[in-house]
Structure formats: C-alpha cells, structure tokens
Structure 1
Amino acid sequence: MKKISMRTRVLTGGLTLAALGAGAFGAVSANAATPAAPAAAPAAVAKADAAAGNTTQSTHLTIEAATEAAQAALDAAEKENQRVSVAVVDRNGNTIVTLRGDGAGPQSYESAEKKAYTAVSWNAPTSELVKRLENAPNLKDIPGTLFLGGGAPVQVKGAPIAGIGVAGAPSGDLDQKFAQAGVATLD
C-alpha cells in the first residue's frame, strides 16, 4: 500500500473544503436571488373593527389575579387541614394557574381543572349543576366536565370570565366553600 505524503493530504483536504464551501455559497446565493412568487391580488378587504360591529371585546383575569384567587382557595383549605388542589381557568376553559397543596391526592389536580371548566362553561357553581343531572343525566357525559361540588364561576357584570375549581376535600361542600373563598378575593 502506497503512503500518501502529508503535503498531498493537506492539499486534498483543502481542495475538498473549498469545493464544499463554494457549493454551499452557490446554493445560498441561488436561493437569495430567486424572486418571490407574485402576491395574489387581495380579495375584498374586510373591515374588522368595533365601529363596523363585527368585533367584540372580552374581559380576562390577569395571571396575578388568578394566582391570588388560587392561593386564597388553597389557604382556606389549609386552615381546615384539608389537602386539595386548585385550578383557575379562563372563559375558554384554558388553565391559567394550578396549585397542588401538600399531600393532595393524585386525582385532585385533574378534578380541580374539570370543576373549574364546568363552572365557567355553565356560569354556575358546580354544586348547583349537580341538581341539573336529575333532569338531564347526559350532561355528565360532556367531555372535560365534572359535576361535583367545588367549582365556582368568576363573573364580571354577570358574565363568566373564569372558573375556580377545588378538589380533594372529603366532600363537595367543602371544595365548594374553598372555591368561593377564591372568588371572594376578586370582588
């Protein structure tokens, strides 16, 4: 086998790098020089503004207010030696904040979110919604809902803007009491 000299290896490596660099530069240059496709002519432009009457505004809790409410609910539970989880969701059911208290059961986290979602969806405390199941038992089959006491809506001018859910206490009445403590901090 023939030995390749150091000089030959350096020259071969240098030429290879130069070729690769030139190819990459050419590809970048070619892409940069390619003209953009012509923009499609705009269709009728819709005027979306409040004056036209085709938009709406909504009120939302800030992260600070949601956290304050969740902490108040958790504090109320801890004062009574209850181990719970608390969730606050926005008007659309998206979770804003959750707090899992020390020693809260593993099921409490998800249950708190579902109670909060249920409360904001129906703009009613979940302890009241449980009563509706007598006349409409299929309500409990709606995905993401949980018809047990412990969910409370947060309202502005009667409209729901958020929901607070508490889960983990031994009764829905206690969970409901703690959720209401969270709502009370927002008044």
Structure 2
Amino acid sequence: MSPPSKYFQNIEQYRQDLLIQTELCGEAMQFKTTWGLFSPRAIDDGTKLMLQYIQVNEDDDCLDIGCGYGPLGLTLAKLAPNGHTCLIDKDFVAIKYTEKNIQLNKLNNCDTFLSNGLDQVSEKIGRKKFNLIVSNIPAKVGNELLSLFMVDALNHLEPGGRFYVVTITGIRKYIERSFKEVFGNYKKVKQGKTYTVAMTIKE
C-alpha cells in the first residue's frame, strides 16, 4: 500500500487556527486566523500602510467595513478606548474570527456582526453615527458595491467624520472621483507602489 500523499498528511494541520503576534501603532496585538480568510499568515501591507497614516482620536466611534479577522478595526478600538468600534463583514467565518480576536485582545469597546456592506448597521446600532469609517477595499469589489460603500458611509458619518480607504494603487483615480462626487472632497494620504491610502471628510 502506497504511503498517503502530502495532502492527507497535512490536512489536520491545515484545520488548526493560525496565530499572528505583532505590533500595530505601538500596540501589542494577537490574531487567530484560518485558511480562507484574507492574508491569514501575516497582516497585509495595505492594512499596515493605512495604520501608519490614519489619525484616530481617543473618543472616536469607528466602523471597519470588510473587517476580515479584525486587524484594522481592533487596532482602532485600542487607539480609541473612549469610543466604540463596530467591525462588519459579509463572511461569517471572518465574523467568527473577529469575535475570537476581540476576546484574545481583551477588548470591551467593540462588537462585530454580519453585514453586506452597511446594510445591517442601522438595524444593529439604530441612529448612531460614526466619527471614523475605514475600509481595506478588495481589488475586485466592483463599481456597484463601491458606490454603495460611498453613499452609505456618507449617511453613517457624523458631520466632520472621516472616511479612510486603502486600495490597490491602480484604482486610486476611481476613488478620487468617487470621493469628490459623493463627499465633495478628497485627500491622498499616502501613495505607494502597490497601495494608496485616501480619505474624505463629511462636511
């Protein structure tokens, strides 16, 4: 009988949670992840770039759209201890791991729930609005969903609230046009070879 292939030899190992231990914005953070989630072995470069340049106030109420396993939103929760952070994603596995990581990082000022874009936000939190919304937007999200993100973000921000996105640099001009059309303003925060961080303000 031939020995089992490498696929069978490693299969139980692949079922185990992965653990990332890192420092983000000067905060020691831990994240449990799994195969099938975005960037399961390390914090992705887009998230790290945004966190280098984002401005967060201690009492900001924050929203992370498309949170994955939570590196961006949970770091915001650390940086805004006097505010409340919501992390949303359309993937139930992402929400499951975000819940694990809220507990792992001993955070009590955040929550997470399923939402396709922002369609469940009002139902979950009522009329409450945010000071800061962030999103690490996938490269192939599509113009239709991006349009929904833009308009819904506008409607869920307090006056003076900020919306930060990080995208692949190839769609930075689309983001610029969209921000100007929906919010009336645009600021390029940092452009790298692969990713660009941009922000807009609800005036």
**Normalising by the residue count of structure 2, what TM-score does the alignment of the two structures yield?**
0.30
**Normalising by the residue count of structure 1, what TM-score does the alignment of the two structures yield?**
0.32
* Structure with the higher helix share, 1 or 2: 1
Q: Quick one: higher RCO (CA 8 Å, sep 6+), 1 or 2?
A: 1
Structure of greater Rg = 1
